[in-house]
Amino acid sequence: MTKVTVPAGFKTMLEFGLVEALLGRRSRRFFMGAEIPDGVFAYKSRHKPDPLSEFEKLLVVTACGTNTSWHNMIYRAELYAPYLSNYAGAAGGRTFPSAAGFHTSMTFFTDDEGVYVLDCRDAPAFAERDPDGSLDLNVILEELKKRIRKLYEGRLDLPHEVPYTEAHNTWVVNQPGTLLITPVGDLSQHVLLNLCYMLQNGLVLTDDINKRPIPGIEKFSTIVDITNTWPITFVEQWSLSELTVELGTSCYAGALMLQAMGLGGWMFNGIDAFSVLGANGDPKIRGFGFRFDTNERWPYPNPTGLTGIMEGYCPPHYKNMREAVDALYNRKFGPGGPFHPDTPGPWKDSRKVRSAAQVHSEEFRQCVALQAQYVYDTFGKFPGTVPSIFCIMHLQAHHLDLEFYDKFYKPGAYLWTHSSHMQLWHSPKIDVH
């Protein structure tokens, strides 16, 4: 590893065991500077809020969303072997899995200093693996810093009250001194990738809400059995579930890191998602600032993207769904994409591997675009029954107030990493290699 000067806790973090992290994981909500005004746990911290250091913050964000070198690919699909499966949306892997390697999410976060986004979903490998499979974490951290963009000054604009924050979280979430991480997924792109996946595996959409096939789908009977269908509602709910797993495992990776570092915090979904994205309709609540639309046919606002940062694969960010399909094609098969021959990879002959994928033909793209455009035209948005941009899980990290736990809990309420955190992470530094 590269020689760097770091807190002593960095070394203990690297040595912390996976089983210890799994068995030691708990939600530990009470932070330095917190107050519970009433009830059985009424308590006011005698400490001031103590924000995470820049290094601590970077490590937690790294756990939630960094690039971890190259994606390994899915090797074979029965229906179109011997072609390499071409489902993936990105060439790089991250700390969490994504359905078929779609990787449509980005990592947003906020602290006292500002609101930020980490964008590495299409990044090349931050580092190549050593022969033993390891990665140089210091190199990963340096590359990750280059991918962080500040959206605005100050903490995420989100009131500490119902309905913006769930009633049980108003005292603790996004408070001074805390780090709040929110992975956000492009569900429009995820559904579009699933339409490609379906077509590749012999399936097309049918409109189960209006009880009709997709008009014009018969033109593609030469490449797919048009009677072999999946309902729109099923495909969109399935995609939503897959993306939720991606967002949830991102937060879970961060939650395990908290145990190794001796930080408090927990993963949860107790914030209004539309307020977080900035799509609740109140202009005074910026959230992350996503644009959104409303329609009397829809039960909730529909966020579609953050201009120049995270734009959904749907109108208004694309003229129509054919244009979005072409953008998806370029993400997969264009320069830097997982199926471009010049994109490096982990194999002895990466050009041969990446060139082995079946390229989406013009007819294939027309078929996907026809189905996607039908959904958009019929429901006024894409996807038709779920949000275009989606978030649900969050991870908060903070410095624990151990005195709260000593007052109310038996010994064992926190780990040795928590009891030694201040000594190890906020005292003289050491050199590591």
What are the DSSP calls for 369-431, one per residue?
HHHHHHHHHHHSSSSSSS-SEE---EEEEE-B-HHHHHHHS-TTSS-HHHHTHHHHHSS--EE
- Over residues 68-92, the mean pLDDT reads 92
The SS3 assignment for 269 reads coil
- Enter the DSSP assignment of 161: S
Under the banding of pLDDT at 50, 70 and 90, the label for residue 79 is confident
In this prediction, residues 274-293 reach a mean pLDDT of: 94
**At a CB cut-off of 8 Å and minimum separation 6, what does 188 contact?**
304, 312, 313, 314, 324, 382, 383, 388, 389
Q: Per residue in 142-172, pLDDT tens?
A: 999 999 999 999 999 999 999 999 999 999 9
pLDDT at 2: 56
Taking only the tens place, the pLDDT of each residue in 297-349 is 999 999 999 999 999 999 999 999 999 999 999 999 999 999 999 999 999 99
Return the biggest CA–CA distance within the chain: 72
- pLDDT of residue 259 exceeding 90, the answer is yes
Say yes or no to pLDDT of 1 above 60.
Answer: no
Q: State how far the Cα of 383 lies from the Cα of 373, in Å rounded to an integer.
A: 10
Cα 288 to its chain centre, rounded Å, is: 14
Residue-level pLDDT at 432: 63
**Residue count (the chain):** 433
Cα 206-211-214 angle, rounded to 5 deg: 35
**pLDDT score, position 22:** 97
Among residues of the chain, what percentage have pLDDT more than 90?
95
pLDDT score of 102: 97
pLDDT for position 281:
87
Task: Using DSSP, state whether 92 is helix, strand or coil.
Answer: strand
Residue 428's pLDDT is 67
- Residues 372-398 have a mean pLDDT of 98
Structure tokens at 195: 């339409």
Say what the pLDDT of residue 340 is.
98
CATH topology of domain 4-432: NADH Oxidase (3.40.109)
Domain-wise residue ranges, the chain:
4-432
Confidence of residue 3 (pLDDT cuts 50, 70, 90): low
Tokens of 122: 């299409």
pLDDT at 429: 67
> Which string of DSSP letters, residue by residue, matches 316-385?
TTSSSHHHHHHHHHHHHHSTTSTT-TTS--SSTTHHHHHTTBPPPPHHHHHHHHHHHHHHHHHHSSSSSS
Which residues, in sequence order, are CB contacts of 427 under 8 Å at separation 6+?
7, 8
Where does the pLDDT of residue 248 fall: very low under 50, low under 70, confident under 90, or very high at 90 and above? very high
- The pLDDT tens digits of the residues spanning 204-242 come to 999 999 999 999 999 999 999 999 999 999 999 999 999
Bridge partners for 107 per DSSP: 118, 183
- What spatial distance separates the first Cα and last Cα of the chain, rounded to whole Å? 5
Confidence of residue 10 (pLDDT cuts 50, 70, 90): very high
pLDDT by residue (tens digit) across 116-130? Answer: 999 999 999 999 999
Residue 300 in contact with residue 274, Cβ under 8 Å? yes
419-426: long-range contacts (C-beta < 8 A, 24 or more apart)? 419/262, 420/9, 420/12, 420/262, 421/9, 421/261, 421/262, 421/263, 423/8, 424/7, 424/8, 424/9, 424/12, 424/262, 425/7, 425/8, 425/9, 425/53, 425/56, 425/261, 425/262, 426/7, 426/53
Residue from 56, 97, 90 nearest 252 by CA = 97
Q: How confident is the model at residue 430 (pLDDT cuts 50, 70, 90)?
A: low
Residue-level pLDDT at 431: 65
